[in-house]
Amino acid sequence: MDTFVQQLINGLTVGSIYALIALGYTMVYGILRLINFAHGDIYMVGAYAGFILAAQLGFAANPGMFGLAVTLIGSMVIAGLIGMAIERFAYRPVRKYSRMTTLITAIGMSLFLENLFVVIFSPTPRSFPQLMQNQNYTLFGNAAISKTQILIFAVSIALMVLLQWVIYRTKVGTAMRAVSFNLNSAKLMGINTDFIIAFTFALGSALAAAGGVLTAQYNPKIDPLMGIITGLKAFVAAVLGGIGNIPGAVLGGLLIGAAETFVVGYGQNIGIPSTYRDAVAFSILILVLLFRPAGLLGSTVQEKV
């Protein structure tokens, strides 16, 4: 029982990070029907932005809650701006073309960010400074939760609530929902769709960057290719929940994070070696899509003839 609770806590920690990244995938997809393959790399960019901020502003030397908050918010702002720039210069010019073209542009952007960061920071992993004194709290029995894990839960929940508020309670959020419902009608209603799309990219990128900094607190090794696998799994999480659906992305992220940890923890008992960890997300996805082709919370759109 103790190990079960422990695995669950660890799984939900990883899952929260997947959820934060999945939100960006799902929002961009909801509005543009674009699989933004560069989104996983934005998560990496966010981690590096935090790394530089922490080093330049001296938070690495004397850690504390203030330094952590500044690093987190700072890297979110930087990543948001980079996300907007990517949308403006790479995605907007190809928006009117076929889906394949936009997809290749996204893959190109992903390769561009990875290779650019390899050139700038070298492929060797960097060690991200601990910005907060870590500490373990015993829950009951032998199950423990660390301060970093509490931080990850708290920040992700806060950001998700904030996102929900932005989307359902503000004017720009209403506009986002309108654009995702029908871009052209939204334009006819006087919504500045270009601005809304840019705003969506900024929002998604900021969430991914938060995921990057939080991951770096949990597992302090960052490298330019860290976004590939994590990004892919987050995307799988978004599809699993029903792409375009915001609560679905969170659900998918938590589910995949937990399932992965359980396979690593308990897999040996039923004959699944832990090396299958990276296949878990895809297997769940395929199984779910066979029975619910639009994801867990997605709704099937009836095709019109």
> How far is residue 258's CA from residue 9's CA, in Å, rounded to a whole number?
8
22 within 8 A of 285, measured Cβ to Cβ: no
**Cβ–Cβ under 8 Å, residues 141 and 6:** no
If binding is defined by CB under 8 A, does position 119 make contact with another protein?
yes
Site size toward another protein (CB under 8 A) is 46
Q: Which of 2, 56, 69, 99 binds another protein (CB under 8 A)?
A: 99
Please report whether residue 303 would count as binding another protein according to CB under 8 A.
Answer: yes
Q: Is 85 in the site for another protein (CB under 8 A)?
A: no
Region near another protein per CB under 8 A, out of 2-10, 62-70, 100-108, 253-261: 100-108
Contact 63, 97 (CB under 8 A): no
- Of 19-48, which residues contact another protein (CB under 8 A)? 29, 33, 35
Footprint of another protein on 216-245 (CB under 8 A): 232, 235-236, 239, 243
User: What is the C-alpha to C-alpha distance for residues 154 and 16, in angstroms, rounded to an integer?
Assistant: 10
**Could you tell me if 11 and 260 are in contact, meaning their C-beta atoms sit under 8 angstroms apart?**
yes
The reply to whether 109 sits near another protein by the rule CB under 8 A is yes
Cα separation, 208 vs 231, in Å, equals 9
**Cα separations in angstroms, 47 against 55, 109, 212:** 12, 18, 4
Interface residues toward another protein, by CB under 8 A = 29, 33, 35, 90, 93-94, 96-105, 107-109, 111-112, 115-116, 118-119, 232, 235-236, 239, 243, 273, 275-276, 278-279, 281-283, 285-286, 289-290, 293-294, 303, 305
